[in-house]
Amino acid sequence: MSDLLERLRGRGWRLTAQRRVVAEVLDGDHVHYTADEVHAKATERLPEISRATVYNTLGELVSLGEVLEVSTDGRAKRYDPNAHHDHQHLVCSRCGTIRDVHLDSDPLAALPVPERFGFQVSEVSVTYRGICPNCHSHS
């Protein structure tokens, strides 16, 4: 993730302790925290970081295309640092955990042109829901 910080600095991002901490928290694969979870974890390393800054920074990372915003339920959005690998999500309807998954075929191809109603379609997201093995064995 440190190359991320380099890349952003090259784009004129001012590098602050707060931004570095947020980026560090998001580091890793299969990480899907809510904004407040990111804030809680960031607070462990930088106790005075404010909620507003975390929201701002996450929003910037999303605009810059470095992080994906995932709204799986109607609850809090989750942030996915794995933005450079095309993937979709598999969500457990019981416990809410998320897995990244990779598809066989481009879901955009499944939408016939007449069904696009003149929209310039630029993005597709596919969410699979089901019960994860862990919840299933405990039921």
Partner DNA sequence: TCTTGACTTAGACAATGTCCAATGTAGGAT
Partner DNA sequence: ATCCTACATTGGACATTGTCTAAGTCAAGA
Per the listing, tokens 């910080």 go with 5
- Span interacting with a second copy, options 12-20, 42-50, 55-63, 95-103, rule CB under 8 A: 95-103
Is the separation of the CB atoms in 51 and 39 below 8 Å?
yes
Residue 23 CB contacts under 8 Å (≥ 6 apart), including other chains: 1, 4, 5, 61
Whose Cβ is closer to DNA: residue 76's or residue 101's?
Answer: 76
Which burial class, exposed, middle or buried, applies to 34 when counting CB atoms under 10 A from its CB (0-12, 13-18, 19+)? middle
Q: Print the binding letters for residues 46-75 with a second copy: x by CB under 8 A, - otherwise.
A: -----------------------x-xxxx-
Q: 43 vs 88, which CB is nearer to DNA?
A: 43
- Positions in the binding site for a second copy (CB under 8 A): 69, 71-74, 76-77, 88, 90, 92-93, 99, 101-105, 107-112, 115-133, 136
